[in-house]
Amino acid sequence: MIKTCGNILLVDDNPELLTDPTKPTKHGDEVPSSLNHRPMKNKLPTGNHMYMKQIVTWLTIGLLGAGQIAFAADIVGTITFKGTPPPEIPYTPLMQNSSCAAMYTTTPTTHFYKVGPKGGLGDVVVFLKGVTGQSTGAGTAPVVLDQKGCLYKPTILAIQTNQKLIVRNSDSCVHNVHVTPKVPGNPMHNDVQMPGGADLTYTFPKPEKFITFRCDIHPWMFAWVSVFDSPYYAISDQEGKFVIKNVPPGKYTLVADHRKLGMQTAKVEVKDSNVTQNFTFHVK
Ligand SMILES: [Cu+2]
Protein backbone atom coordinates (compact mmCIF):
# COMPACT_ATOMS: atom_id res chain seq x y z
CA MET A 1 0.00 0.00 0.00
CA ILE A 2 1.33 3.42 -0.92
CA LYS A 3 1.59 5.95 1.86
CA THR A 4 1.00 9.57 1.06
CA CYS A 5 2.64 10.60 4.30
CA GLY A 6 -0.47 12.70 4.89
CA ASN A 7 -1.94 15.79 3.39
CA ILE A 8 -3.13 17.41 6.61
CA LEU A 9 -0.64 19.95 7.79
CA LEU A 10 -0.66 22.24 10.77
CA VAL A 11 1.85 24.85 9.88
CA ASP A 12 0.22 28.02 11.12
CA ASP A 13 2.49 28.05 14.12
CA ASN A 14 5.53 28.18 11.90
CA PRO A 15 4.80 30.19 8.77
CA GLU A 16 8.43 30.50 7.75
CA LEU A 17 8.37 26.85 6.76
CA LEU A 18 5.80 27.70 4.11
CA THR A 19 7.93 30.33 2.50
CA ASP A 20 11.24 30.58 0.79
CA PRO A 21 12.89 32.67 3.49
CA THR A 22 15.71 34.21 1.54
CA LYS A 23 17.02 37.25 3.32
CA PRO A 24 18.52 40.16 1.42
CA THR A 25 22.17 39.57 0.82
CA LYS A 26 24.87 41.81 2.17
CA HIS A 27 28.35 42.26 0.94
CA GLY A 28 31.32 41.92 3.18
CA ASP A 29 34.79 43.31 2.96
CA GLU A 30 37.21 41.99 0.47
CA VAL A 31 39.93 39.84 1.86
CA PRO A 32 43.43 40.14 0.43
CA SER A 33 44.63 37.10 -1.42
CA SER A 34 47.68 35.12 -0.48
CA LEU A 35 49.60 32.79 -2.71
CA ASN A 36 51.14 29.47 -1.84
CA HIS A 37 54.24 28.85 -3.84
CA ARG A 38 55.41 25.33 -4.36
CA PRO A 39 59.18 24.85 -4.34
CA MET A 40 60.44 24.38 -7.88
CA LYS A 41 62.44 21.27 -8.66
CA ASN A 42 65.27 22.38 -10.86
CA LYS A 43 67.61 19.40 -10.72
CA LEU A 44 67.42 16.42 -13.01
CA PRO A 45 68.40 12.99 -11.71
CA THR A 46 72.07 12.16 -12.10
CA GLY A 47 73.25 9.57 -14.63
CA ASN A 48 72.62 9.69 -18.35
CA HIS A 49 72.52 13.40 -17.84
CA MET A 50 72.96 14.40 -21.45
CA TYR A 51 70.37 11.90 -22.60
CA MET A 52 67.82 13.23 -20.12
CA LYS A 53 68.64 16.78 -21.16
CA GLN A 54 67.87 15.90 -24.77
CA ILE A 55 64.54 14.33 -23.81
CA VAL A 56 63.54 17.41 -21.84
CA THR A 57 64.50 19.65 -24.78
CA TRP A 58 62.46 17.56 -27.22
CA LEU A 59 59.47 17.54 -24.87
CA THR A 60 59.69 21.30 -24.42
CA ILE A 61 59.88 21.91 -28.15
CA GLY A 62 56.96 19.55 -28.72
CA LEU A 63 54.76 21.21 -26.12
CA LEU A 64 55.62 24.69 -27.35
CA GLY A 65 54.81 23.62 -30.89
CA ALA A 66 51.47 22.24 -29.86
CA GLY A 67 50.73 25.32 -27.75
CA GLN A 68 49.92 23.05 -24.84
CA ILE A 69 51.80 24.73 -22.04
CA ALA A 70 48.96 25.79 -19.83
CA PHE A 71 49.04 25.78 -16.06
CA ALA A 72 46.08 25.43 -13.82
CA ALA A 73 45.83 25.54 -10.07
CA ASP A 74 43.32 25.05 -7.30
CA ILE A 75 41.68 27.81 -5.31
CA VAL A 76 41.30 26.56 -1.76
CA GLY A 77 40.10 28.12 1.45
CA THR A 78 38.09 27.97 4.64
CA ILE A 79 34.87 29.80 5.44
CA THR A 80 34.68 30.81 9.09
CA PHE A 81 31.62 31.83 11.07
CA LYS A 82 32.00 34.38 13.85
CA GLY A 83 29.24 35.09 16.32
CA THR A 84 26.14 33.24 17.41
CA PRO A 85 24.16 31.53 14.69
CA PRO A 86 20.43 32.28 14.72
CA PRO A 87 18.38 29.40 16.13
CA GLU A 88 17.35 26.77 13.63
CA ILE A 89 13.64 26.14 13.09
CA PRO A 90 12.14 22.85 14.30
CA TYR A 91 10.21 20.94 11.64
CA THR A 92 7.13 20.91 13.85
CA PRO A 93 4.69 20.15 11.00
CA LEU A 94 6.78 17.13 10.02
CA MET A 95 6.24 15.64 13.48
CA GLN A 96 2.48 16.19 13.11
CA ASN A 97 2.50 13.87 10.13
CA SER A 98 2.48 10.37 11.57
CA SER A 99 4.25 8.68 8.64
CA CYS A 100 7.05 11.23 8.58
CA ALA A 101 7.29 11.45 12.37
CA ALA A 102 7.72 7.68 12.57
CA MET A 103 11.19 8.16 11.06
CA TYR A 104 12.37 10.38 13.94
CA THR A 105 12.79 10.11 17.68
CA THR A 106 13.26 13.87 18.15
CA THR A 107 12.04 16.79 16.07
CA PRO A 108 14.51 17.54 13.28
CA THR A 109 15.42 21.16 12.58
CA THR A 110 16.57 23.24 9.66
CA HIS A 111 20.32 23.46 9.05
CA PHE A 112 20.56 26.95 7.59
CA TYR A 113 23.79 27.68 9.52
CA LYS A 114 26.08 24.67 9.38
CA VAL A 115 28.74 25.74 11.85
CA GLY A 116 31.36 23.09 12.61
CA PRO A 117 33.09 22.52 15.97
CA LYS A 118 36.01 24.74 14.94
CA GLY A 119 33.82 27.49 13.53
CA GLY A 120 33.88 26.43 9.88
CA LEU A 121 30.75 27.32 7.92
CA GLY A 122 29.31 24.74 5.55
CA ASP A 123 26.90 25.14 2.65
CA VAL A 124 28.59 28.27 1.31
CA VAL A 125 28.59 28.32 -2.48
CA VAL A 126 31.95 29.60 -3.75
CA PHE A 127 32.42 30.48 -7.40
CA LEU A 128 34.26 32.66 -9.92
CA LYS A 129 32.18 35.69 -10.80
CA GLY A 130 31.32 36.19 -14.45
CA VAL A 131 32.99 33.03 -15.78
CA THR A 132 30.57 31.63 -18.32
CA GLY A 133 30.53 29.61 -21.53
CA GLN A 134 32.87 26.98 -20.08
CA SER A 135 30.44 24.33 -18.91
CA THR A 136 31.52 20.71 -19.00
CA GLY A 137 28.21 19.71 -17.48
CA ALA A 138 26.96 17.48 -20.29
CA GLY A 139 29.95 15.17 -19.79
CA THR A 140 30.08 15.35 -16.00
CA ALA A 141 28.60 12.78 -13.61
CA PRO A 142 25.09 13.58 -12.34
CA VAL A 143 24.42 15.06 -8.92
CA VAL A 144 21.78 13.37 -6.72
CA LEU A 145 19.14 15.16 -4.67
CA ASP A 146 17.43 12.66 -2.38
CA GLN A 147 14.14 12.79 -0.52
CA LYS A 148 14.64 10.92 2.73
CA GLY A 149 12.85 11.23 6.06
CA CYS A 150 10.43 13.69 4.46
CA LEU A 151 13.30 16.12 3.87
CA TYR A 152 15.54 16.97 0.92
CA LYS A 153 19.14 15.84 1.30
CA PRO A 154 21.24 17.79 0.79
CA THR A 155 19.49 21.15 0.86
CA ILE A 156 22.23 23.16 -0.88
CA LEU A 157 23.54 21.82 -4.19
CA ALA A 158 25.39 23.13 -7.22
CA ILE A 159 25.60 21.81 -10.76
CA GLN A 160 26.77 23.01 -14.14
CA THR A 161 24.52 24.00 -16.99
CA ASN A 162 23.30 20.89 -18.80
CA GLN A 163 24.62 18.60 -16.06
CA LYS A 164 22.07 16.02 -14.94
CA LEU A 165 20.44 16.49 -11.56
CA ILE A 166 18.83 13.24 -10.40
CA VAL A 167 15.98 13.57 -7.91
CA ARG A 168 15.36 10.39 -5.95
CA ASN A 169 12.62 9.28 -3.58
CA SER A 170 14.11 7.06 -0.87
CA ASP A 171 10.98 7.36 1.29
CA SER A 172 8.03 5.02 1.42
CA CYS A 173 5.64 7.85 0.69
CA VAL A 174 4.72 10.07 -2.23
CA HIS A 175 6.53 13.35 -2.80
CA ASN A 176 6.07 15.92 -5.50
CA VAL A 177 9.03 17.82 -6.84
CA HIS A 178 8.11 21.42 -7.56
CA VAL A 179 10.92 23.37 -9.20
CA THR A 180 10.54 27.10 -9.76
CA PRO A 181 13.46 28.73 -11.59
CA LYS A 182 13.32 32.47 -12.24
CA VAL A 183 15.77 32.78 -15.14
CA PRO A 184 14.12 32.51 -18.58
CA GLY A 185 15.13 29.29 -20.33
CA ASN A 186 15.35 27.22 -17.16
CA PRO A 187 12.34 24.89 -17.13
CA MET A 188 9.78 24.68 -14.34
CA HIS A 189 8.87 21.22 -13.08
CA ASN A 190 6.07 19.81 -10.94
CA ASP A 191 6.30 16.03 -10.86
CA VAL A 192 4.75 13.43 -8.59
CA GLN A 193 7.26 10.83 -7.48
CA MET A 194 5.90 7.58 -6.02
CA PRO A 195 7.80 5.52 -3.47
CA GLY A 196 10.15 3.26 -5.38
CA GLY A 197 9.43 5.28 -8.49
CA ALA A 198 11.97 6.00 -11.17
CA ASP A 199 14.45 8.78 -10.56
CA LEU A 200 13.59 12.15 -12.08
CA THR A 201 16.30 13.76 -14.19
CA TYR A 202 16.47 17.50 -14.71
CA THR A 203 18.90 19.78 -16.50
CA PHE A 204 19.10 23.56 -16.58
CA PRO A 205 20.62 25.38 -19.56
CA LYS A 206 21.09 28.77 -17.86
CA PRO A 207 23.15 29.80 -14.85
CA GLU A 208 20.99 30.67 -11.87
CA LYS A 209 21.53 30.95 -8.13
CA PHE A 210 19.50 29.01 -5.59
CA ILE A 211 16.70 27.55 -7.71
CA THR A 212 13.98 26.54 -5.27
CA PHE A 213 12.90 22.90 -5.02
CA ARG A 214 9.90 22.25 -2.78
CA CYS A 215 7.36 19.55 -2.08
CA ASP A 216 3.75 20.69 -2.07
CA ILE A 217 2.64 17.59 -0.13
CA HIS A 218 5.10 18.38 2.66
CA PRO A 219 5.49 22.17 2.55
CA TRP A 220 8.45 22.23 4.92
CA MET A 221 10.61 20.45 2.32
CA PHE A 222 13.02 22.80 0.54
CA ALA A 223 16.27 22.50 -1.40
CA TRP A 224 18.18 25.12 -3.38
CA VAL A 225 20.21 24.29 -6.47
CA SER A 226 22.68 26.75 -8.02
CA VAL A 227 23.65 26.34 -11.68
CA PHE A 228 26.98 27.52 -13.07
CA ASP A 229 28.14 27.82 -16.66
CA SER A 230 31.60 26.51 -15.74
CA PRO A 231 33.12 23.86 -13.46
CA TYR A 232 34.73 26.51 -11.26
CA TYR A 233 32.66 26.38 -8.09
CA ALA A 234 32.48 24.47 -4.82
CA ILE A 235 30.31 24.14 -1.72
CA SER A 236 32.07 24.41 1.63
CA ASP A 237 31.98 21.27 3.73
CA GLN A 238 31.16 20.82 7.43
CA GLU A 239 34.57 22.26 8.33
CA GLY A 240 34.05 25.24 6.07
CA LYS A 241 36.64 24.06 3.57
CA PHE A 242 36.31 24.37 -0.18
CA VAL A 243 38.40 23.53 -3.24
CA ILE A 244 37.84 24.86 -6.75
CA LYS A 245 39.96 22.65 -8.93
CA ASN A 246 42.05 23.28 -12.05
CA VAL A 247 41.39 26.97 -12.51
CA PRO A 248 43.18 28.43 -15.55
CA PRO A 249 45.62 31.29 -14.92
CA GLY A 250 44.05 34.69 -14.64
CA LYS A 251 42.62 37.33 -12.35
CA TYR A 252 39.22 36.58 -10.89
CA THR A 253 36.63 37.79 -8.44
CA LEU A 254 35.92 34.93 -6.06
CA VAL A 255 32.44 34.98 -4.54
CA ALA A 256 31.37 33.22 -1.34
CA ASP A 257 27.59 33.11 -1.18
CA HIS A 258 25.57 31.85 1.79
CA ARG A 259 21.83 31.69 1.23
CA LYS A 260 21.05 33.42 4.53
CA LEU A 261 24.19 35.46 5.20
CA GLY A 262 24.72 36.90 1.74
CA MET A 263 27.78 37.35 -0.41
CA GLN A 264 31.41 38.24 0.08
CA THR A 265 33.95 38.75 -2.69
CA ALA A 266 37.72 38.72 -2.97
CA LYS A 267 40.15 39.33 -5.82
CA VAL A 268 42.36 36.36 -6.60
CA GLU A 269 45.06 35.74 -9.15
CA VAL A 270 45.83 32.22 -10.32
CA LYS A 271 49.29 31.51 -11.66
CA ASP A 272 50.98 28.13 -11.52
CA SER A 273 50.45 27.26 -7.86
CA ASN A 274 47.47 26.90 -5.57
CA VAL A 275 45.82 29.99 -4.20
CA THR A 276 44.41 30.21 -0.68
CA GLN A 277 41.52 32.56 -0.05
CA ASN A 278 39.56 32.49 3.20
CA PHE A 279 36.32 34.23 4.11
CA THR A 280 34.73 35.11 7.44
CA PHE A 281 31.03 35.70 7.97
CA HIS A 282 30.20 37.74 11.05
CA VAL A 283 26.85 37.63 12.82
CA LYS A 284 26.29 39.67 15.97
CU1 LIG B 1 7.19 15.44 0.11
Residue 170 lies in a domain: yes
Residue 50 lies in a domain: no
Structure confidence at residue 109 (pLDDT): 98
Q: How far is the CA of 13 from the centre of ligand 1 (A)?
A: 19
Ligand 1: centre distance to CA 150 (Å): 6
User: What spacing in Å lies between the alpha carbon of 6 and ligand 1's midpoint?
Assistant: 9
Nearest to 227 by CA among 145, 122, 149: 145
Q: Is 19 part of any domain?
A: no
pLDDT at 55: 57
- The string of DSSP codes covering 128-164 is ETT--S---GGGS--EEEEEETTEEESSEEEEETT--
What digits encode the pLDDT tens for the residues 28-71?
333 333 333 333 333 333 445 555 556 555 554 444 445 445 68
Do the domain assignments include residue 110? Answer: yes
Nearest to 75 by CA among 229, 227, 279, 280: 279
Cα–Cα nearest to 122, from 236, 224, 226, 225: 236
Q: pTM for the full model?
A: 0.79
- For residue 261, the CA-to-ligand 1 centroid distance in Å is 27
| Selected residue with higher pLDDT from 2 and 161 | 161
Question: What is the whole-number distance in angstroms between the Cα of residue 222 and the centre of ligand 1?
Answer: 9
Q: Is residue 241 part of a domain?
A: yes
Give residue 71's pLDDT. 84
Taking only the tens place, the pLDDT of each residue in 209-231 is 999 999 999 999 999 999 999 99
Residue 245 identity: K
Residue 2's pLDDT band (boundaries 50, 70, 90)?
low
Q: What percent of the chain has pLDDT over 90?
A: 74
Distance CA 275, CA 244 (A): 10
Distance 165 CA to ligand 1 centre (A): 18
Q: How far is the CA of 104 from the centre of ligand 1 (A)?
A: 16
Report if residue 37 sits inside a domain: no
What does the pLDDT average to over 99-128? 97
Q: How far is the CA of 30 from the centre of ligand 1 (A)?
A: 40
Determine, yes or no, domain membership for 65.
Answer: no
Amino acid making up residue 190: N
Average pLDDT of the chain? 84
- Total domains present in the chain: 1
CATH at residue 121:
2.60.40.420
Ligand 1 midpoint to CA 214 (Å): 8
8 falls within a domain: no
Scored b (16 or more CB within 10 A) or e, 179-202 reads bebeeeebeeeeeebebeeeebeb
Q: In the prediction, which pLDDT does 284 show?
A: 83
Provide Rg for the chain, Cα atoms. 23
Range of the domain at 159: 71-283
Residue 126 Cα to ligand 1 middle (Å): 29
